[in-house]
Amino acid sequence: MADQRQNIIASVFSRRNAMGNLEETYVSHVKIWEDAGPEGGGRKPRYILLSQANNGSGFIHKSKLNTNGTFSVGKTWRLPELRAIQVVNPLAFNITLSRTYRWQTESQADQAAFLDALVRLFRTVSPGSQLQLEGLPELQNGKDSFSDSRRPGRTPSPSAYAGSTRRSSQTLRTRTSSQLDRESEPLQRYSSPTPHSQLRVGASPRPASPSNSHRNLSSSSIHPRDPSPTRSNLRPPSVTSQSQQSGLRSKQPRRPSNVDTVTYPLPPINNLQSAPSRPEVSSAPSPFSSSPLRSRPPSPTASTRTRKQSSRGATASTSNDVPPLRREQNTRISFYDPANQATLDRLISGGNGINSDGEGEDENALATMSNVEEMIEGYEWASDDVITRKSSRGAADLIEARLLDELMALEKANIHSFLESDDRIGIVLNFLDEAISELDNMDSLVSSYKIHLNTVSDDILYIQSQNRGLQVQTQNQRALLSELENLLQTVNVDQDSLITLTQESLEKPSSVQRLEEAASQLYRALQAGRDTEMAATMERLQEYRTHNVQFCKRMFDFLSIMFTARSTMLLGDNNGLTPAGKGRPILVSHQEMETYLGRYSGLMLYLKEMDETVYAKLCAAYFSAVSGLHSTQMKMLLSSYANFVKKSSEDGQEHSFSSASATSVSKSAAGMRRAGTIIRSPIEGRNRDKDKATDGDLRASEVFGLVLEQLAPAIYHEDEFLTDFLQINDTALTFADYMGLDNYFRRQAARAAGLSQTTVKLVRGAMDLIFGFLPAELKTWLDNALAKDRMEIIGIIASLERFLSEAEERGNQFILTILEKQHTRLKGMFERHIKEQIVDIEQTKLSSKKRRGVAHFVKNFPAYVTRVENQLVGADGLEIRSSVDAAYEKIVQTIFDSLKQMAKLEGEGEDKGQLNYHVILIENMHHFVAETSALEVGPVAIFSRRAETIYDENLNAYVKIVLRRPFARIIDYFEGVERLLKTTAPTEVANNNIYSKSALRKVVKEYNAKDLRKHVDALFVRVAKHFAEASGKTTTEESGGIAPGTVMVGVWKACEEELLRITELFAKRISQCYGDSGVSLEYAVGDVEAAFRRNRVGS
Residue 181 pLDDT greater than 60, yes or no: no
The DSSP secondary-structure symbol of 282 reads P
Q: Tell me, what's the pLDDT at 673?
A: 35
The more confident residue out of 34 and 222 is: 34
Give domain 2-150's CATH number out of 2.30.29.90, 3.60.15.10, 2.30.40.10, 1.10.10.10: 2.30.29.90
User: In whole angstroms, what is the distance from residue 741 CA to residue 520 CA?
Assistant: 8
Chain centroid to CA 1045: 71
Provide the pLDDT for residue 1048: 87
CB neighbour list of residue 882: distance below 8 Å, 6 or more residues apart: none
524: enclosing H helix or E strand: helix 509-528
All structural domains of the chain with their residue ranges: 2-150, 171-443, 495-642+729-767, 659-699+789-902, 948-1094
Structural contact between residues 104 and 32, judged by C-beta atoms closer than 8 angstroms = yes
**Cα–Cα distance between 590 and 37 in angstroms, integer?**
53
Identify the burial level of 718 via C-beta atoms within 10 angstroms of its C-beta, where 0-12 means exposed, 13-18 middle and 19 or more buried: buried
Task: Say if CB 812 and CB 721 are below 8 A apart.
Answer: no
pLDDT number for residue 187: 35
Question: In this structure, what DSSP letter does residue 878 have?
Answer: S
CA distance 342 to 324: 8
Over 60: is that where the pLDDT of 151 sits?
no
Is 50 exceeded by the pLDDT of residue 719? yes
List Cβ neighbours of 317 (8 Å cut-off, separation of 6 or more).
258, 259, 260, 265, 354
Q: What is the mean pLDDT of residues 306-323?
A: 36
For 439, residues 6+ apart whose C-beta sits below 8 A from its C-beta are 200
Is 232:423 a contact under the CB 8 Å cutoff? no
Rounded Cα–Cα distance for residues 21 and 446 (Å)? 51
**Residue 524, pLDDT score:** 86
Mean pLDDT to the nearest integer, 693-706: 78
Q: What are phi and psi of 393, to 5 degrees?
A: -130, 155
Q: How far apart are CA 744 and CA 481, in angstroms?
A: 17
Cis peptide before 195 (omega within 30 of 0): no
Residue 380: the pLDDT is 42
What rounded mean pLDDT belongs to the chain? 74
Confidence bin at 713 (pLDDT 50/70/90): very high
Q: Are 24 and 13 in contact (CB under 8 A)?
A: yes
Partners of 71 in the beta sheet?
Answer: 65
pLDDT at position 855 is 83
pLDDT of residue 249: 37
Closest C-alpha to 136, from 105, 114, 120, 112: 112
The pLDDT score that the predictor gives to residue 169 is 37
**pLDDT tens-digit series, residues 1027-1069:** 875 444 343 333 333 344 578 888 999 999 999 999 999 999 9
Q: What is the pLDDT of residue 760?
A: 85
* Average pLDDT score over residue span 258-266: 36
Residue type, 680: R
Buried b (16+ CB within 10 A) or exposed e, 801-822: bbbbebbeeeebebbbebbeeb
What is the reported pLDDT for 203?
35
Average pLDDT (692-696) is 49
Phi and psi at 97, nearest 5°, equal -120, -115
8 Å CB contact between 900 and 842: no
Q: How much is the pLDDT for 56? A: 85
The type of residue at 810 is R
Query: Comparing 43-52, 93-102, 411-420, which segment has the lowest mean pLDDT?
Result: 411-420
Q: Of 253, 232, 234, which is closest to residue 185 (Cα–Cα)?
A: 234
Cβ neighbourhood burial of 168 (10 Å; 0-12, 13-18, 19+): middle
For residue 1076, the one-letter residue type is D
Phi-psi category of residue 1045: left, alpha or beta, with phi > 0 → left and psi -120 to 50 → alpha: left
Is residue 676 a contact partner of residue 864, using CB atoms and an 8 Å limit? no
**CA 1089 from chain center: how many Å?**
82
Statement: residue 463 has pLDDT above 90: yes
Which of 173, 229, 225, 187 is CA-nearest to residue 402?
173
pLDDT bin (cut points 50, 70, 90) of residue 768 is very high
CA distances, 565 to each of 572, 626, 629 (Å): 11, 11, 11
Which residue type is seen at 55?
N
Query: Distance between CA 88 and CA 105 in Å, rounded?
Result: 11
Predicted confidence at residue 662, as pLDDT, reads: 46
Where residue 537 falls among pLDDT bands split at 50, 70, 90?
A: low
CA dihedral (535, 536, 542, 543) positive or negative? positive
Instruction: State residue 278's pLDDT score.
Output: 36
Residue 703: predicted pLDDT: 92
Query: What does the pLDDT read at residue 543?
Result: 87
Mean pLDDT over 39-63 rounds to 88
User: How far is CA 72 from each of CA 45, 259, 617, rounded to the nearest angstrom?
Assistant: 13, 58, 64
Question: What is the per-residue pLDDT across 794-836, written as a single tens digit (0 to 9) for each?
Answer: 999 999 999 999 999 998 899 999 999 999 999 999 999 999 9
Distance CA(594)–CA(76), nearest Å, equals: 68
* Residue 531's pLDDT band (cuts 50, 70, 90): low
pLDDT score of 1042: 37
Crossing angle (nearest 10°) for helices 1047-1073 and 1085-1094: 160
* 782-793 residue pLDDT tens: 999 999 888 899
One DSSP character per residue, 386-402 reads: HHHTT--B-HHHHHHHH
pLDDT tier at 186 (50, 70, 90 boundaries)? very low
94 three-state secondary structure? strand
| pLDDT confidence tier of residue 939, bands split at 50, 70 and 90 | confident
Q: Name the burial class of residue 725, with classes exposed (0-12), middle (13-18) and buried (19+) by CB atoms within 10 angstroms of its CB.
A: middle
Minimum mean pLDDT among 92-96, 557-561, 572-576, 1006-1010: which range? 572-576
pTM of the model: 0.53
Which residue has better confidence, 18 or 1008?
A: 1008
With a pLDDT cut of 70, the percent of the chain lying above it is: 67
Structure confidence at residue 318 as a pLDDT band (50, 70, 90):
very low
Element counts in the chain: helices (H) and strands (E):
40, 8
User: What is the pLDDT at residue 670?
Assistant: 35
In what order do the strands lie in the sheet containing 24-35? 71-78, 58-65, 43-53, 24-35, 100-105, 92-96, 84-89, 132-134
**Average of pLDDT values for 502-512?**
89
Q: Give the number of other Cβ atoms within 10 Å of residue 239's Cβ.
A: 8
User: What is the gyration radius of the CA atoms in the chain, in angstroms?
Assistant: 63
Q: Which amino acid makes up residue 561?
A: I
Dump pLDDT digits (tens) for 567-585: 999 988 888 888 765 568 8
Residue 924 vs residue 852, higher pLDDT: 924
680-690: average pLDDT: 42
C-alpha distance across the termini of the chain, in Å: 104
Q: Which amino acid is at 546?
A: T
Residues in CB range of 931: below 8 A, 6 or more apart: 672, 673, 861, 862, 1034, 1035
- Quick one: DSSP state of residue 231? G
- 712, pLDDT greater than 70: yes
Distances (CA, A) of 1057 to 26, 780, 957, 1011, 1050: 95, 63, 13, 19, 11
User: Contact, 601 vs 724, CB < 8 A?
Assistant: yes
Q: How far apart are CA 242 and CA 236, in angstroms?
A: 10
Q: How confident is the model at residue 141 (pLDDT cuts 50, 70, 90)?
A: low
Three-state secondary structure readout of 10-49? HHHCCCECCCCCECEEEEEEEEEEEECCCCCCCEEEEEEE
SS3 317: coil
Residue of 63 and 678 predicted with greater confidence: 63
Percent of the chain with pLDDT over 90: 35
- From the list 527, 756, 514, 774, the residue with the least C-alpha distance to 619 is 756
* Torsion angles phi and psi, residue 161, rounded to 5: -65, -40
Task: Tell me the pLDDT band of 250, cut-offs 50, 70 and 90.
Answer: very low
Higher-confidence residue: 680 or 1056? 1056
Task: Give the closest residue to 974 by CA, choosing from 1005, 997, 995, 991.
Answer: 995
Q: What is the mean pLDDT of residues 302-308?
A: 34
Q: How far apart are CA 747 and CA 769, in angstroms?
A: 34
Query: What does the pLDDT look like over 829-866, one tens digit per residue?
Result: 999 999 998 998 888 765 434 455 788 888 888 888 98
Calculate the alpha carbon distances from 820 to 784, 795, 814 in Å. Answer: 19, 16, 10
Asked if residue 565 has pLDDT above 60, the reply is yes
- Kindly state the average pLDDT of the residues 66-88: 92
Report pLDDT for 156: 37
The CA distances from residue 897 to 901, 921, 947, in Å, are: 6, 11, 12
